[in-house]
Amino acid sequence: MKKSLKFLVAAAGLIAISAATAGTFSTAPCKACHAVDKDVVGPAWKRVAEKYGNEEALAKVFKGGFKVEDRKIASSEPKFKSQAAIMTGQYNTLIKGHEDEAAKALFAAVKSGKM
Ligand code: HEC
């Protein structure tokens, strides 16, 4: 488990670099750890969308620096709180500067059922 997690984080990092080079936001790197309707490394996006309610609420938490205590899943689920650092790295490389697009993309993925 530890080894595969490390691999995922490394792979996500590589995809992040190519996404950053392209200059647009894409949910492609998120797929390394998230699915729409089931928990993988990170929580199911369907549950994330339910907890936040709408994309504005999620964008607001992203814009506030994505503090662990503001995160609705991590602040209420110990299992995910213990892994918050993994998501902080993703936030710093992929979401910062793209807060609105990222929140919009997450809700769109949940609505269409695919990311
Ligand atoms: C390397 C694995 C990994 C990648 C890649 C990843 N995530 Fe996560 N994500 C996690 C983990 C672990 C959690 C649970 C910890 C947490 O909630 O902070 C999480 C939680 C989240 C949450 C819920 C935060 C909360 O606690 O309320 C959101 C929103 C989220 N991710 C969005 C994204 C988006 C958007 C991307 C792509 C840009 C992405 N994630 C890429 C691992 C990842």
Q: What gap in Å lies between CA 25 and CA 102, rounded to an integer?
A: 7
Confidence of residue 5 (pLDDT cuts 50, 70, 90): confident
Q: How far is the CA of 3 from the centre of ligand 1 (A)?
A: 19
Contact 87, 74 (CB under 8 A): yes
Q: What gap in Å lies between CA 115 and CA 79, rounded to an integer?
A: 24
Across residues 19-40, what is the average pLDDT?
86
Contact 42, 80 (CB under 8 A): yes
Mutation test of ligand 1: which of 55, 56, 90, 100 has the most ligand atoms closer than 8 Å to its C-beta? 90
Instruction: Return the ligand 1 atom nearest residue 88 CA.
Output: 18
Q: What gap in Å lies between CA 73 and CA 70, rounded to an integer?
A: 9
Q: What is the pLDDT of residues 76-102, one digit of tens each?
A: 999 999 999 999 999 999 999 999 999
Contact 45, 36 (CB under 8 A): yes
The whole-number pLDDT of residue 53 equals 98
Q: Which residue minimizes the CA distance to atom 3 of ligand 1?
A: 33
Confidence of residue 22 (pLDDT cuts 50, 70, 90): low
Other residues' Cβ atoms within 10 Å of the Cβ of residue 4: 9
Is residue 8 in contact with ligand 1, taking CB distance under 6 Å? yes
Across residues 44-64, what is the average pLDDT?
98
Across residues 19-38, what is the average pLDDT?
84
Q: How far is the CA of 25 from the centre of ligand 1 (A)?
A: 15
Question: What residue spans define the domains of the chain?
Answer: 2-112
